[in-house]
Amino acid sequence: MIESQRHSYHLVDPSPWPISGSLGALATTVGGVMYMHSFQGGATLLSLGLIFILYTMFVWWRDVLRESTFEGHHTKVVQLGPRYGFILFIVSEVMFFFALFRASSHSSLAPTVEIGGIWPPKGIAVLDPWEIPFLNTLIPLSSGAAVTWAHHAILAGKEKRAVYALVATVSLALVFTGFQGMEYYQAPFTISDSIYGSTFFLATGFHGFHVIIGTIFSIICGIRQYLGHLTKEHHVGFEAAAWYWHFVDVVRLFLFVSIYWWGGI
Amino acid sequence: MRRRVVSSQQLQYVQRLHKWGAAFRSLNSSPSPSTTPSFQQTTTLFSHSEFLSKNKRVEDLMPIATGHEREELEAELQGRDILEMDYPVGPFGTKEAPAVVKSVYDKRIVGCPGAEGEDEHDVVWFWLEKGKPHECPVCSQYFKLDVVGLGGPPDGHGDDH
């Protein structure tokens, strides 16, 4: 029991963010459908919904940060909740990406007559996996090493060095995104060029989106490290960012091996 | 929040952390005398065992800790178990030596599992109130409430009494 209360749990205060996030999600889905069917005002509703969701994310996480770092509600028992929650979230992400990989392998393992009975489909010029794609596999791996460096720095109490390590992590992530953008720009096929283009851009696009999320997560960790929020004993937010970053890394390895390399020969 | 300036105090703090780290590792039968560990597990769910050294303050360990997190750390450093009263255990209570159950408020729900072994029975739940010792109707174990907290009604409405 904690002396000033009866237990070591965190009973949260009432918050408007669950309902505001829900309304944002409703506006986003309805607006999204309206936009895709060329309804008047669809784009406006979609944009409003997305802004609402982004705003909710910002203020909700701001509140969590205030409750944990500035009010001290995250005791050891409370810290277990976000840990297990984040692990389950990553497990669900693994399942999501499994579906994307399966979409690709379903079409490539038994190519139909419509695409010439071969993979890559007839007429599709693919990217050489040993040029930018290979480099862009090594870059996130190095970024993963840098985030481990940051973790060791935090555990050793070297606050400044942890910031440097996170700057390295984020820099490599930005280089990756830059190369990926270049690759998309120069690709000889588009998302509408056969099932190859569809599965390629769906899988690599969602991976790129996750890289951007992980980059923002790492930037937030870097800022919090700079401000002194993350300590040797308590840095759950950083741990979640590191787990997420390693997950994104592993997805890239599978993308390279199965879609760029195996799928490109 | 402004950036914290690195002071000599902080330097000492970092050095101390290093010392403890080394002590903890050697306790864990690490044969290597080197100062840097070859590998530190990244997913340490409970990493607090290494600061159970004497005469340390929360300020030395986690200067920014506040609120309940700080109370928890402080109790741990002082070797107190603040969750101890959550799980009342002890020898079978008799009229002469009742089983004492600690409570923050004037009454608390208690369960009697009977004595050990053959004399165990299904848990019987009851309200144990301040100044009103309770005798278990099944095994006649005797309970007494010891108010250690603020007292008053536990529901927080004040309409109980």
**Residue B158 — very low, low, confident or very high, per pLDDT cuts 50/70/90?**
low
A40 & A100 share domain: no
Chain A interface, best mutation among B72, B82, B105, B109, by max A CB count within 10 A:
B72
A146 & A202 share domain: yes
A85 & A64 share domain: no
A132 & A169 share domain: yes
The residue with greater pLDDT, B155 or A4, is B155
In chain B, residues with a C-beta closer than 8 Å to the C-beta of A239 are 42-43
A30 & A121 share domain: no
Residue A159 belongs to what domain range? 75-264
From A35, A50, A73, the end of a domain falls on: A73
From A46, A73, A100, the end of a domain falls on: A73
Is B82 in the A-facing interface, judged by CB distances under 8 Å? yes
A108 & A177 share domain: yes
The CATH number of residue A23's host domain is: 1.10.287.70
- Helix H or strand E encompassing B107: strand B107-114
A138 & A227 share domain: yes
Is B147 in the A-facing interface, judged by CB distances under 8 Å? no
pLDDT for B42 beyond 60: no
pLDDT for A84 beyond 50: yes
Instruction: Answer yes or no: are the C-beta atoms of B25 and B49 closer than 8 Å.
Output: no
As a CATH number, domain B85-147 is 2.60.11.10
A168 & A200 share domain: yes
A93 & A150 share domain: yes
Where is average pLDDT lowest: A15-29, B57-71, B110-124, B133-147?
B57-71
Is B86 in the A-facing interface, judged by CB distances under 8 Å? yes
A163 & A99 share domain: yes
Is B38 in the A-facing interface, judged by CB distances under 8 Å? no
- A141-145: which pairs have CB atoms within 8 A and are 24 or more residues apart? A141/A249, A141/A252, A141/A253, A142/A172, A143/A168, A143/A169, A143/A172, A143/A173, A143/A176, A143/A245, A143/A249, A144/A245, A144/A246, A144/A249
Give the mean model confidence (pLDDT) for residues A144-152: 97
CB atoms A226 and B45 under 8 Å: no
Predicted TM-score (pTM) above 0.90: no
Domain tally for chain A?
A: 2
A89 & A66 share domain: no
pLDDT for B154 beyond 90: no
CA dist B69 and A69 (Å) reads: 9
The residue with greater pLDDT, B86 or B101, is B101
The CATH number of residue A148's host domain is: 1.20.120.80
A217 & A143 share domain: yes
Q: Which of B62, B72, B82 lies nearest to residue A231, judging by beta carbons?
A: B62
**Residue B22 — very low, low, confident or very high, per pLDDT cuts 50/70/90?**
very low
pLDDT for A241 beyond 80: yes
Task: Give the model's pLDDT for residue B105.
Answer: 86
**Residue A2 — very low, low, confident or very high, per pLDDT cuts 50/70/90?**
low
**Residue A6 — very low, low, confident or very high, per pLDDT cuts 50/70/90?**
low
CA dist A4 and B67 (Å) reads: 9
What are the residue boundaries of the structural domains of chain B, listed by start?
50-82, 85-147
CA dist A70 and B66 (Å) reads: 7
